[in-house]
Amino acid sequence: MARVTEQELTDQVLARFAAAPDERLRAVMQALVRHLHAFTREVRLADAEWLAAVRFLTATGKACDGARQEVILLSDVLGLSSLVDLVNHARDDENLTETTILGPFYVPGSPWREFGSSMVEYADGGEPAVIRGSVRGVDGTPIEAAVLDVWQNAATGYYAVQQPGVQPATNLRGRYRTGPDGRYELRTIRPVPYPVPDDGPVGELLRATGRHPWRAAHLHAIVSADGHLPVVTHLFDAASDHLDSDAVFGVKASLVREFTPGPDGVLECEHDLVLHPAG
């Protein structure tokens, strides 16, 4: 009797999924099987390595709780989160603001703040900074009443959501609207680099592979306006460390900006945003 070959086993598994009634699920599962089996053959996965992977994934799941999502963190450091973002949101028009990952520290319902007002509610020793610019369509038309939902970490490296009872819940968070000329302005602090949580299985993986856990200094924003597609994006500090080795592969050259001293000594940063029309 002929022995089953590696490819015959793969074909058997693919055939089992061929009856899946949902067409998309069938396509996804069969592609997963093809790539997973091809990976296993390529690296000649050993029994001990397979078991180590099972233990790692089990530990990753156990590290998740209501405030921490270790599985998404794993996706981030593997570049999968950034790739999913590119697959779903990248566009050919180089004038459009590039997207990045949302990140784990977004909290909806940030307070509305006035044009040019500060979102600093906690004295952390950060360098004061003003960020301003315009929001416009691809044809250059300024967009009035566009909303910038902005959040960032404190100079201590932590987001407010990470330090309940230390930072006010709405520290360094705010929603701003553009004026009739499409301009926005907000006061904050200069962002600083910070490490992703590295005290769990993902941190062990980073250390084992000679990688660091640091993110380049950045500010997050979700920019939206009627008649346009929203964009989830970052603004990166050009002087930051780790721009070329961001732990979650979020840095894009078009989103890197200079912070320079203004006439009053306060740092200033200009960052324009371009949205794609809906439909």
Whether residue 103 has pLDDT greater than 90? no
pLDDT exceeds cutoff 80 at 1? no
- Using pLDDT thresholds of 50, 70 and 90, give the confidence band for residue 104: confident
Find, among 86, 96, 90, the residue nearest to 273 by Cα.
96
pLDDT band at 279 (very low <50, low <70, confident <90, very high): confident
Please say if the pLDDT value at position 255 is more than 90.
yes
What pLDDT shows up at residue 2? 83
b/e per residue 156-189 (b: at least 16 CB within 10 A): bebbbbbeeeebeebbbbbbbbbeeebbbebbbb
Which residue, 77, 172, 174, 190, is CA-closest to 130? 190
Taking only the tens place, the pLDDT of each residue in 38-87 is 999 999 999 999 999 999 999 999 999 887 899 999 999 999 999 999 99
Q: What average pLDDT does this structure show over 23-31?
A: 98
Q: What is the pLDDT of residues 211-223, one digit of tens each?
A: 999 999 999 999 9
pLDDT at 59: 98
Is the pLDDT at 12 greater than 90, yes or no? yes
DSSP H or E stretch at residue 185: strand 183-189
pTM for this predicted structure: 0.92
The residue behind tokens 């078009």 is: 254
CA distance 209 to 202: 11
CATH of 75-275, one of 2.40.110.20, 3.30.230.10, 2.60.130.10, 3.40.1690.10: 2.60.130.10
Domain residue spans of the chain? 6-65, 75-275
Q: What is the mean pLDDT of the chain?
A: 96
Q: For residue 66, what pLDDT is reported?
A: 81
